[in-house]
Structure 1
Amino acid sequence: MLSNLHTLCYQRKSMDVARGQLGFSLIELVVGMLVISIAIVMLTSMFFPQADRSVESLYRMRSAELAHSVMNEIWGKRYDQQTNPNGGVPACNTGTPLVPCSSALGPDGEGRDDYNDVDDYHGLNINSFMFNSSQTYAAVYTNFNLNVSVTYVDATTQAAKLITVAVTTPSSEVITYQSVRSNY
């Protein structure tokens, strides 16, 4: 009899163990769903927006590339139409006799490939032809916008010109690049 009781207790313990190993309790299921929901919220709020930010970085890089190429081209030109193309003295508004700088900023009637001074670039835009090319900037930089303006820093002395290159990215972010070119 004792042996039967012992066997019965052993069987009952093994059934309890087996019953406990059959599945999850309701509390375990709720905790698991809570952990998964927190993980999904973190993924959607932290990792997925990174794709949008990486596109913005690409747009900014392309914007800098466009502005840099235009700015380098402008810096390679002389200060003013009245400045000696070979350098040296006198620069406009300096020396004897006094040679005045150009009063009107913008192209002096020359074509795009013949721009020869800084202020010829005033008004250059995305639909302008690239230097020595039959392509426009719009063909290479699709959905971007470009506006170049050249103004005198001080209109009375005309000693320096402010070059502003404004590039608008496809996401409508306007990035402005500026440099000052002195009369030397």
Structure 2
Amino acid sequence: MPNKLGFRRPVRLNGFTLIELVIGMMVIGIGIVMLTSMLFPQADRAAATLQRVRSAELAHSVMNEIWGKRYDQNTNANGGSPACNAATGLSCSATSVLGPDGESRDTFNDVDDYHGLSESSSMLDSSQTYAQAYPGFNVSVNVSYLDTTTQAEKLITVDVTTPSNEVITYQALRSNY
């Protein structure tokens, strides 16, 4: 459209130039790379952290239960009796074989009864197994004497395997006092 002087005004088209489109795609590409390399892996780390927390819950519940039991079948449940070991001359009930002394899971009464406990074992006073309560997790309990000659300390090892196959080991030492 001509103005008063007769010059034509250039017509301005709305849109993007090729250079603007290329720069825009580069900015979007850099943003996507940053998201995939920094932000998205955080979700995997968060899941691993959650699995470790659940692993600690499982191991802690098993350890607390074991810790509340007496040292040995022949040790007085209320304490006060001499410790059973080779030094005192009192024999422990399971010097060569650790594990349940014929009790059912709900009546475990000493530390070594838990030797061999696994995810297929039922939980205390429950019909539910550890595998049902903690799906995807495996648990294994091993009880051994720290020194087989004195038998004054038992090493309790709880291995928990997370769903991502990470094995986390928890240990406690129970003395015969």
Match of 1:48, SS state, is helix
More helix by share: 1
Pair 1:7 & 2:1 matched: no
Structure-1 separation of matches of 2:23 and 2:69: 70
CA gap 1:94/1:87 in 2 versus in 1, 3 angstroms: farther
Alignment of 1:79-98 (within 5 A): 79-93=71-85, 98=89
What count of residue pairs does the alignment treat as equivalent?
A: 174
Q: Which amino acid aligns with 1:79?
A: Y
CA contact (8 A) 2:86 2:151 kept: no
Note the alpha carbon deviations across 1:25-52, whole angstroms, 9 max, x for none.
2222111111110001111122122222
Structure-2 separation of matches of 1:57 and 1:72: 22
Displacement of 1:8 in angstroms is 4.2
Alignment of 1:13-162 (within 5 A): 15=10, 18-19=11-12, 22-93=14-85, 98-101=89-92, 102-103=94-95, 104-162=97-155
Percent identity of equivalent pairs: 67
For structure 2, which runs of at least 5 residues remain unmatched after alignment?
none
CA contact (8 A) 1:89 1:95 kept: no
CA gap 1:81/1:49 in 2 versus in 1, 3 angstroms: same
Structure of higher CA gyration radius: 1
Match of 1:180, SS state, is strand
CA gap 1:5/1:22 in 2 versus in 1, 3 angstroms: closer
Structure-2 separation of matches of 1:70 and 1:159: 22
RMSD between aligned alpha carbons?
2.0
For structure 1, which runs of at least 5 residues remain unmatched after alignment?
none
Structure-1 separation of matches of 2:165 and 2:6: 79
